[in-house]
Chains A and B, each alone.
Chain A
């Protein structure tokens, strides 16, 4: 007899992994999903079960955010694990992967263990650290992939820095195959992007800002694809933003290479014009691109070239953003707007809802070898329950995140999480104002 039993009734069940989209119920026992479907309670709900009738709200696997920068250790005033977890809960995110570009850099076993311990004490969402691929992100010496993986690192990346040297990248990919770990690349050729602040083109020329050409991304992705060909390693380009890089990725996938890629909501929701007027909240890395590139990102999500939508959460304090554009920090807070922007992609660009959700749940979980992200019996009951039609307006002052640097501030949105569940426990409930 399980100790705790809970049933969510009459939900629109959304499981991108199996393609399920139907009204039905979920039974949870001891933190695991015990049964899912429209006919799991043919007669009545079993005795001693807590019952919550969702009355048609959507129920999906909790979001798995594959790319969030947290300030801890080193910049806790921008974001701590606690504040990040609070923002994640409110955003429907139940698993949060953190980047290693902290101070100090997460590049050794002790630090991975520290993050693991710090992150999961007092945090009720799962925090999974990515470890640095090279020591101190120096782009030269590899970190201890095997030992770091054993300590809890789920992937390897140099964060917002590209692994630029081709030989180092080749060796990182090659070595990673011994442990079957994923190498995540910030796909931007640094010598072309050097000192750039925004997308290269007419607007950058008008604003007198140094541009980052789209070729910086294309070149890195195409080079890396050739190295994957040589090594057979699993490679993931963190945030792709350009039509040409996505074409390269599409071809590599057609060739059967073990490559994948992601993007972030700002790359399918915004274009470079957001930067006009020197709006530093729209300064992100890689930069916002042209409208044609934005559309290419939408199409790549639709056709499955893009596997992952991550928040790209990069908290910055006001001092880092209230600067002349070229001096301002890169980054946008994204945890609390990710789900709504994904829903917007479904509603205004007509991308199937299950395709959008796959990019935020089962796809990243599969790439990282995590047990979550699916709505099936035997898996952890990490869930998000959302109202896809609820209108709201982004008010960054009300973010749970410590940082308020959202380019979407004051924008109207549709759809948000009303309840977030981790291992069967409700960790967030939105108070409904009606």
Chain B
């Protein structure tokens, strides 16, 4: 049930890049920024996923370059380490023809006492068209978005949201299983500290999937059931008959704060191996947002199972989804001067 209003003629994206930005149809994506999945409706999500499909094809061609964002400036502003997400956003921007700049603010100005808002104002004065922001504090990207004139994409904020990860996960599932509605998806691991888990919970609920979370009780955040999930502390029970297993990365620091006694115990009870996986549906997909800790949350063989593991596909979908998001938020919209298109 694709949103008709969002459908774009296939040809436009499979044909050689020649469309000028002015000639683009005005897309009815009703958001200035992409801050979280909590704000997006079912049709918003469908719109992004439908458009992403078309970029997948483009990304597999020799000539991957479009001109949709020609002349536009994209700044990837990363206050936290990231290689995958940053590279994915950079490629997405470049393939759409944008000028893409990476800024790593980790150890520079914020350490000198410059506040997040000062950084935002400084960048805003350079008239970017879109900022992709990752920040270690929940809510920081939303705060920054209030202070700039351009579109802002949340590349992950603290333990709050990571919307493009949820979108690329959804796209991966949809391509493999043809739908999201009615599926049962288990999200397993450090749910408490995971922005990926939160964004996926919102997206999957909005799209009509059933969501389970599986974690040791110390890594289940308070009130998680109220987000519309079923919580399990027994992984085998949680995996019973699920269509998709999403594993989360376990930060090794968790062994310190008395969340967990040891890696060994965690792997024994919560690591995804063939035995535990046997409780899921026989063709259940295995997903992981990366980077993986093999032997901590996932068994190497399971991760590399070419029939069921879609982990590499997720990375590919990441570029397509980010192109779609950039395209929807930036192309055909004014920047700066308060131009709220």
Contacts and interface: CB of A to CB of B under 8 A. Distances in A.
A98 to B, nearest CB: 29
A208 B157 contact: yes
B87 to A, nearest CB: 24
Nearest to B193: A208
B227 A208 contact: no
A206 B198 contact: yes
B340 interface: no
Contacts, number: 70
A268 interface: no
B231 to A, nearest CB: 11
Contacts of B38: 206
A198 to B, nearest CB: 10
Interface stretch (B58-66, B158-166, B262-270, B274-282): B158-166
Q: Determine the interface band of chain A, counting residues with CB < 8 A from chain B.
A: 20 to 34
Contact of A324 (B139, B195, B221, B226): B139
B227 A201 contact: no
Interface string B111-146: 000011100000000000000000101111011000
Given A322-B117, A323-B115, A207 B139 contact: yes
A426 interface: no
Contact of A201 (B115, B116, B137, B223): B223
A206 B138 CA distance: 10
Contacts of A211: 221-222
Q: Determine the interface band of chain B, counting residues with CB < 8 A from chain A.
A: 20 to 34
B222 A205 contact: yes
B224 interface: yes
A130 B55 CA distance: 66
B138 A202 contact: no
Contacts of A213: 222
Contacts of A204: 221-223
Interface in A153-185: none
Contacts of A323: 115-116, 143
Nearest to A318: B117
Interface in B263-309: none
Nearest to B192: A205
Interface in A199-256: 200-209, 211, 213
A433 interface: no
Contacts of A326: 137-139, 158
A277 to B, nearest CB: 8
Given A322-B115, A323-B115, A324-B116, A202 B135 contact: no
A208 B142 contact: no
A398 B125 CA distance: 31
Given A208-B160, A324-B138, A325-B138, A278 B143 contact: yes
A327 B221 CA distance: 21
Contacts of B222: 200-202, 204-205, 211, 213
Contact of A205 (B135, B140, B227): B227
A34 B116 CA distance: 59
A383 B135 CA distance: 51
Contact of B223 (A205, A277, A324): A205
Q: Dominant SS at the B interface?
A: mixed
Interface string B2-44: 0000000000000000000000000000000000001000000
Contacts of A207: 138-139, 160
A213 B221 CA distance: 12
A278 B35 CA distance: 13
A202 B143 contact: no
A208 B138 contact: yes
Contacts of B117: 322
A292 interface: no
Contacts of A327: 137
Interface in A311-342: 319, 322-327
Contacts of A205: 198, 221-224, 226-227
Contacts of A201: 222-223
A200 B222 CA distance: 7
Nearest to B141: A324
Contact of A208 (B159, B224, B226): B159
A325 B227 contact: no
A291 to B, nearest CB: 14
A23 B91 CA distance: 78
Nearest to B159: A208
A323 B224 CA distance: 26
Interface of B: 38, 115-117, 135, 137-140, 142-143, 157-161, 195, 198, 221-224, 226-227
Rank and list the top 7 A-B pairs by shortest CB-CB distance, nearest first. A208-B160, A202-B223, A324-B137, A208-B159, A278-B139, A208-B138, A324-B140
Interface of A: 200-209, 211, 213, 277-278, 319, 322-327
25 contacts: A200-B222, A202-B227, A204-B223, A205-B223, A205-B226, A206-B198, A206-B227, A207-B139, A207-B160, A208-B138, A208-B139, A208-B157, A208-B195, A208-B198, A209-B138, A209-B158, A277-B142, A278-B139, A278-B142, A278-B143, A322-B117, A323-B143, A324-B137, A325-B138, A326-B138
Given A278-B139, A324-B138, 12 more contacts: A202-B223, A204-B221, A205-B198, A205-B223, A208-B159, A209-B160, A211-B221, A211-B222, A322-B143, A324-B137, A324-B140, A326-B139
